[in-house]
C-alpha cells in the first residue's frame, strides 16, 4: 500500500521581485516499509520535496496524500497535529536543546501529549536503547560525540513511533565511521517498520536504500515509483 502519494507537485519560492520554480510537476509514490534515497545535485529541490512530504511546507500546487489522508488542504494547526503523529524528522544539524539531557531531548515530542511523565520517560529510554545510547541518557549534548548526538536526534524522531521517518543529510556532519553507524541504524529502523525517506549526497549510501529517487532541476529523472491505480487520489 502507498504510504505517500504526491501528484503534480509544483513549488515556487516567490521573493516578490522574482519567482523561482523549485519543483516542477513532481509525481511519486512511496510504499509502506520502503527505504528511499532522495538524491540529486545541490539546488535540485530535494529539501523542498522532503519538507513537503513531511507536511512542513505547503506545496504551491499539487496533491499530497499520506496514509490515506489528503493533507493538501489542512490548516496550520491540523498540519502540526498531523506531523506530531505521523512524521519524525532528522536533520544534518542535530538541533538538540543544549541545556537538556539526552533523555529530556528525546522526551520533547511527548511533552505536548497526554502521556504521563513516567510513561514519557519509559518511551524515551526505549528509543535511546534502540539507538544504542541507553547508558548516556543523563548526558548533555556537549558531553556526547557528534555521532552520538545524531543518534539522540534519531531517537527523538522515533520516540512517537511515527510511520514516516524523514532524514535530510543525516550523515552530512559526521565522519565516515559515524556516518556508517547512523546508516546502519536507519537500515535497522527501516527493518523494524519505519518507512524512511533520506536525502543524501553520498553515493556510497544509495545501495542501502530500496530505491533511489533522483531529482534534477526540480523534476524527478529516476525512480518515481508506480503511480496509483485508476481512481486513487
Residues in contact with ligand ADP by the rule CB under 6 A: 13, 15, 20, 22, 40, 42-48, 142-145, 147-148, 178
Closer to ligand ADP by Cβ: residue 44 or 105: 44
Minimum distance of ligand ADP from residue 132's CB (angstroms): 11
Count of beta carbons in the 10 Å neighbourhood of residue 216: 14
Measured CA to CA in angstroms, residue 70 lies from 53, 54, 97, 149, 151 at distances of: 12, 13, 33, 34, 31
Q: How far is the CB of 205 from ligand ADP (least distance, A)?
A: 16
Cβ atoms < 10 Å from Cβ of 5: 21
Contact 5, 233 (CB under 8 A): yes
Q: For the chain, what's the residue count?
A: 233
- Measured in whole angstroms, the distance separating CA 103 from the mean position of its chain's CA atoms is 21
Cβ 85 to ligand ADP shortest distance, Å: 25
Q: How far is the CB of 78 from ligand ADP (least distance, A)?
A: 23
Residue 61 or residue 228: which is nearer to ligand ADP going by CB? Answer: 61
Question: Judged by CB, which is closer to ligand ADP: 147, or 225?
Answer: 147
Q: Give buried/exposed letters for 146-175 (b at 16+ CB in 10 A, else e).
A: ebbbbbbbbbbbbbbebbbbbbbbbbbbbe
User: Please, what is the minimum distance in Å from the beta carbon of residue 37 to ligand ADP?
Assistant: 13
Cα 135 to Cα 223: distance, rounded to the nearest angstrom: 40
**Which CB sits closer to ligand ADP, 40 or 137?**
40
Nearest to 152 by CA among 131, 177, 126, 183: 131
Nearer to ligand ADP, 110 or 174 (CB): 174
Q: With respect to ligand ADP, which residue has the nearer C-beta, 39 or 110?
A: 39
Q: Tell me the closest approach of the beta carbon of residue 52 to ligand ADP, in angstroms.
A: 9
Amino acid at each position: 500500500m502507498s504510504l505517500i502519494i504526491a501528484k503534480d507537485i509544483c513549488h515556487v519560492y516567490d521573493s516578490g521581485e522574482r519567482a523561482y520554480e523549485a519543483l516542477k510537476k513532481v509525481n511519486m509514490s512511496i510504499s509502506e516499509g520502503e527505504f528511499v534515497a532522495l538524491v540529486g545535485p545541490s539546488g535540485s529541490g530535494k529539501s523542498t520535496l522532503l519538507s513537503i512530504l513531511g507536511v512542513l511546507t505547503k506545496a504551491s500546487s499539487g496533491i499530497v496524500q499520506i496514509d490515506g489522508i489528503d493533507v493538501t488542504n489542512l490548516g496550520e494547526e491540523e498540519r502540526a497535529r498531523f506531523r506530531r503523529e505521523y512524521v519524525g524528522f532528522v536533520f544534518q544539524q542535530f538541533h538538540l536543546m543544549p541545556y537538556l539531557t539526552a533523555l529530556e531531548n528525546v522526551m520533547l515530542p511527548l511533552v505536548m501529549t497526554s502521556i504521563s511523565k513516567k510513561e514519557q520517560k519509559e518511551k524515551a529510554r526505549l528509543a535511546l536503547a534502540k539507538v544504542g545510547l541507553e547508558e548516556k541518557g543523563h548526558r548533555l549534548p556537549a558531553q556526547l560525540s557528534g555521532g552520538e548526538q545524531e543518534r539522540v536526534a534519531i531517537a527523538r524522531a522515533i520516540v512517537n513511533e511515527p510511520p514516516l521517518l524523514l532524514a535530510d543529510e543525516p550523515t552530512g556532519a559526521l565522519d565516515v565511521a559515524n556516518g556508517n553507524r547512523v546508516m546502519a541504524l536507519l537500515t535497522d529502523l527501516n527493518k523494524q517498520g519505519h518507512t524512511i525517506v533520506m536525502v543524501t549526497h553520498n553515493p556510497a549510501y544509495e545501495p542501502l536504500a530500496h530505491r533511489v529517487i533522483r531529482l534534477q532541476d526540480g523534476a524527478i529523472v529516476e525512480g518515481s515509483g508506480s503511480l496509483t491505480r485508476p481512481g486513487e487520489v
